[in-house]
Amino acid sequence: MAGDKTEKATPKRQEEARNKGQVARSMDLTGSIILLAALFVLGSVGPDVGRRLQELTEWALRLMAHPETVSREGIGALLLHALSETGSALAPVLAVCAAAAVAVNLCMTRMKLSKGVLKPQWQRINPQSGAKNIFGPNALAEGAKSVTKVAVVAAIVAAALVPQMGELGTMVGMEPTQLAGALGSTILAVAKRAAAAYFVIGVVDFAYQKHRHAKSMRMDKQEVKDETKNQQLPAEVRMTMRRRQMAASRGRMMAAVPEADVVVTNPTHYAVALRYDGKSPAPEVVAKGVDLNAAKIRRIAAEYGVPIVPDPPLARALHASVEVGTQIPEELFGAVAQVLAFVYKTSGRRAA
């Protein structure tokens, strides 16, 4: 069937997705590499970090023993000094962790930086959308995956600690400096095993995310044929066809504005025309535009008596998340229903 998504995404489709920031990512792999980098740098600069933090603690305890030597005005300077010393001591660890995070994300995106992911997307901060992600159909699978990861790492840590319980018991009565060194080496060894297990989990999760992303990018046979046909045409012909298609699409979109029930605006930069016939499960976006196109939509709506309702958050969310000719997503049902109810009440129209 032409509508069945059975074909692998073409290189052009994959490149377009990368330009939009749509790539396979694994937070587990990123976290495990950051943890391994932190443990690696702690193994080399850990003693120096510990010494500097110990000196800072001793300095703070001396001040606490003689609080009368500190004036009220000098407390801010003391806190600033403590924060500066702490940041200076931990700077190597933080710098290595940041570099590891940037490097692993660049590798996942194949060194492709996308400006699209930096644009604000209002649907991401929608409470209804967030609740859907928490309690949606994928929540159970994600919860089971998280429990499995914790169980595996906990088992690795337990397997490393149980044989050393006897040695830990012999540390009772040690000098504080000796105890800190012995505990530090033990904790570092256990942490390395846990990080290695977490890294393996991250690699498996990244492979799963790649498979999931590739599945979501699949195309049907007709899409592959159309794309192949367009790629075989000269660039000038493709550009001309693209301009004609866009002009025709705008013409059809503007012709649908008089049939809309309401136009939601920003009120100056965005305009989205909605139509609800009562037969479809949800209202449909029949036209949308920014700046000049938005002004044209408002002008046509005013000419044909289509109500115009200023609602900046809803207008931006609809423009960013809904394509022309498609129905609004479930997380916007409530806001759109309120607008339509207002229109039906004030304009005398009857709800379909």
* Model confidence at 296: pLDDT above 70: yes
Please report which confidence band the pLDDT of residue 70 belongs to, taking 50, 70 and 90 as the band edges. Answer: low
Q: Tell me the pairing of strands 262-265 and 308-310.
A: parallel
How crowded is the C-beta side of 257, counted as CA atoms within 13 Å? 29
Please report which confidence band the pLDDT of residue 265 belongs to, taking 50, 70 and 90 as the band edges. Answer: very high
| Beta-sheet strands, E only, within the chain | 262-265, 270-275, 284-290, 308-310
Answer for the pair 285, 273: CB distance below 8 angstroms, yes or no.
Answer: yes
* Model confidence at 25: pLDDT above 80: yes
- 77-102: pLDDT as tens digits: 778 888 888 888 888 888 999 999 89
| SS3 at position 153 | helix
Of the two residues 251 and 29, the one the predictor is more confident about is: 29
Q: Is the dihedral of CA 127, 130, 134, 135 positive or negative?
A: positive
DSSP β-bridge partners for residue 309: 264
- DSSP of 174-235: --HHHHHHHHHHHHHHHHHHHHHHHHHHHHHHHHHHHHHHHHHT-B-HHHHHHHHHHHHS-H
* Model confidence at 172: pLDDT above 90: no
Nearest-CA neighbor of 259 among 306, 328, 310, 309? 306
| Mean of the per-residue pLDDT values of the chain | 79
Token pair 């159309």 in the structure block, residue:
226
Q: Is the dihedral of CA 146, 151, 156, 158 positive or negative?
A: positive
- 219-251: pLDDT as tens digits: 888 777 777 766 665 667 667 767 777 777 777
Distance CA(309)–CA(298), nearest Å, equals: 10
Q: What is the CA radius of gyration of the chain?
A: 30
Kindly list the domain boundaries of the chain, sorted by start residue.
11-216, 254-347
- 174-207: pLDDT as tens digits: 666 666 666 767 777 788 888 888 899 889 989 9
* Model confidence at 263: pLDDT above 60: yes
Architecture, CATH, for domain 254-347: 3-Layer(aba) Sandwich (3.40)
Amino acid at 304: Y
| pTM, full prediction | 0.53
Distance CA(61)–CA(280), nearest Å, equals: 71
CA angle 74, 76, 82 (to 5 degrees): 105
